[in-house]
């Protein structure tokens, strides 16, 4: 077998120094492998701790992103609601202004109709006065012609 150790033989069995040397060698090799394994375990622990720390950082960042996303969504919803409200207010205000303008137009139309009626009445009155003055003037001219004639 590979790695099989053969001990020298002495009077009462195996040579004690060979056995002790072999045991010391095995202990040294075992201690060295144990140290290597401890180092390897320590390295794996460090890697695990680093990965755990990174995972926790990523988890915190993911939670922050989730919180930020929620806040942004809330802000967007509020902004949309405000925009809708502002648009509705603007429409309502526009309708009120349109009604006021329509009322003003109607009032101005009524004033215009009244002015046309006044103008018509004034024309009739002026025409009547002109006819009256014309007839009076004709009468005065006729009187002068009769007295001169």
22 with 3: CB under 8 angstroms?
no
Residue ranges making up the domain that contains 61: 9-148
In the chain, the number of structural domains is 1
Asked if residue 3 is part of any domain, the answer here is no
Helix ranges restricted to H, the chain: 16-148
Asked if residue 4 is part of any domain, the answer here is no
Asked if residue 60 is part of any domain, the answer here is yes
pLDDT tens-digit readout, 27-86 = 999 999 999 999 999 999 999 999 999 999 999 999 999 999 999 999 999 999 999 999
Query: In Å, how far are 24, 70, 94 from 20, measured between CA atoms?
Result: 6, 72, 107
Asked if residue 142 is part of any domain, the answer here is yes
Give the Cα-Cα-Cα angle 95, 96, 98 (nearest 5 degrees): 60
3-8: average pLDDT: 62
Asked if residue 1 is part of any domain, the answer here is no
* pTM value surpassing 0.85: no
15 with 8: CB under 8 angstroms?
yes
Asked if residue 51 is part of any domain, the answer here is yes
Asked if residue 26 is part of any domain, the answer here is yes
pLDDT tens-digit readout, 78-106 = 999 999 999 999 999 999 999 999 999 99
């Amino acid at each position: 077998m590979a790695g099989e150790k053969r001990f020298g033989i002495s009077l009462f069995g195996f040579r004690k120094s060979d056995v002790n040397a072999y045991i010391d060698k095995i202990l040294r090799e075992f201690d060295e492998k144990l140290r290597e394994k401890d180092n390897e375990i320590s390295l794996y622990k460090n890697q695990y701790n680093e990965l755990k720390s990174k995972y926790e950082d990523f988890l915190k960042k993911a939670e922050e992103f989730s919180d930020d996303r929620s806040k942004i969504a809330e802000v967007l919803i509020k902004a949309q609601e405000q925009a809708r409200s502002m648009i509705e207010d603007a429409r309502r205000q526009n309708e009120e202004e349109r009604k006021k303008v329509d009322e003003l137009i109607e009032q101005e139309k009524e004033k215009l109709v009244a002015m046309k009626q006044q103008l018509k009445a004034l024309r009739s009155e002026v025409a009547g006065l002109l006819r009256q003055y014309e007839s009076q003037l004709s009468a005065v001219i006729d009187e002068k012609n009769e007295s001169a004639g």
